[in-house]
Amino acid sequence: NAGVIQTPRHKVTGKGQEATLWCEPISGHSAVFWYRQTIVQGLEFLTYFRNQAPIDDSGMPKERFSAQMPNQSHSTLKIQSTQPQDSAVYLCASSLLGGREQYFGPGTRLTVL
C-alpha cells in the first residue's frame, strides 16, 4: 500500500501565478479531504469529497481556490493568482467510506514569493 500520494512535494510560485496540487488517495478509499497547515493557524480543513462528489467546502477561501475530483484515483486543488499568504503545506487525506480514520499524504509545501 503506497499510502496517499501528493505531488509535487514542493512548489514555488510568483505572486499572481497559478498553482495546481495533486493528490492520489489510497486505493479503495472513497473519501478525500484537503487541509492546510501553517505555523499561525495550524491544521485547517478546506474541502471534502465522497465518491468524487463535493460534500463540504466550508473551509475553502471564497476566491481563487477550487478543488475537483474527476475520478476516484485523483483530486486536485487549484489556487489562482497566488498570494504570499497562500504559502503553507497543503495536505490531502483519504478514508474508507463511512470510516472515521483519515490517512494523510506527505503534503505539498507551497511557497509564494
Residues of this chain that interact with another protein (CB under 8 A) are 4, 31, 33, 35, 42-43, 45, 48, 55-56, 59, 91, 93, 95, 99-107
Shortest CB 5 distance to another protein, Å: 11
Give the three cell numbers for residue 45.
480543513
Shortest CB 28 distance to another protein, Å: 16
Of the pair 18, 56, the CB lying nearest another protein is at 56
- Helix (H) or strand (E) holding 33, with range, is strand 31-38
Give the three cell numbers for residue 40.
499561525
70, with CB counted inside 10 A (0-12, 13-18, 19+), is: exposed
Of the pair 68, 103, the CB lying nearest another protein is at 103
Shortest CB 47 distance to another protein, Å: 9
What is the C-alpha separation between 11 and 26, in angstroms, rounded? 23
